[in-house]
């Protein structure tokens, strides 16, 4: 079986064990081989070369602490859809990114701008139903108030991406709850 290292996600931890990003397994191998990082967890998948059998990492940790600057993310369609988890903020329907639209909470015709606070992901049906009205006027309340993309948003997205990966959960502060 052929393994595509570009599509396998690897969680990156700072030297302090703080989760900072997700990268491809290929890039993780490069970091480990250069001595920049060490492998904390493996995925169970191995790759074989002529002389070596190497386990593919699932979690790596940087050997030296890296200060992560607080970045402000520029406004973009991709950023809005990522922040809203590709879910309509009116009906909570999940759509493919290509089928979602962006809705202005305060319509542009009424002075609403293109800002993090005024744009939400919206399915085509809800966007058409809301039209040129505010959510209150249309009787379509938002499920949550939109906020700018921040460090906290990034951490929540990291936690959401770890739902299917038990090895990541202990680094992202999940509690092991007993099964009901």
What would the two tokens of residue 157 be? 């997205």
- Give the side-chain half-sphere CA count within 13 A for 150: 5
Residue with tokens 């900072």: 20
Cα 113 from chain centroid? 25
CATH 1.10.30.50 domain extents, the chain? 77-138
Per-residue pLDDT tens for 111-146? 999 999 999 999 999 999 999 999 999 999 999 889
Per-residue pLDDT tens for 30-56? 999 999 999 999 988 898 888 988 899
pTM for the complete prediction? 0.60
Is 11 exposed, middle or buried, given 0-12, 13-18 or 19+ CB atoms closer than 10 A? buried
H helix intervals, 21-176:
25-33, 77-83, 124-130, 135-138, 151-161, 166-169
Tell me the CATH architecture of domain 77-138.
Orthogonal Bundle (1.10)
């Amino acid at each position: 079986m052929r393994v595509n290292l570009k599509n396998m996600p690897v969680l990156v931890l700072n030297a302090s064990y703080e989760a900072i990003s997700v990268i491809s397994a290929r890039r993780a191998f490069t970091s480990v081989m250069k001595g920049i990082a060490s492998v904390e967890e493996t995925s169970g998948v191995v790759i074989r070369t002529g002389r070596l059998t190497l386990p593919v990492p699932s979690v790596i940790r940087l050997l030296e602490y890296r200060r992560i600057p607080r970045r402000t993310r520029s406004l973009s369609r991709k950023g809005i859809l990522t922040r809203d988890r590709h879910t309509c903020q009116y009906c909570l329907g999940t759509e493919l990114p290509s089928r979602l639209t962006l809705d202005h909470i305060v319509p542009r015709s009424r002075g609403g701008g293109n800002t993090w606070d005024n744009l939400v992901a919206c399915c085509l049906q809800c966007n058409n139903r809301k039209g040129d009205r505010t959510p209150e006027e249309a009787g379509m309340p938002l499920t949550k108030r939109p906020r700018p993309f921040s460090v906290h948003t990034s951490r929540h997205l990291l936690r959401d991406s770890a739902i299917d990966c038990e090895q990541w959960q202990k680094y992202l502060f999940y509690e092991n709850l007993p099964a009901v």
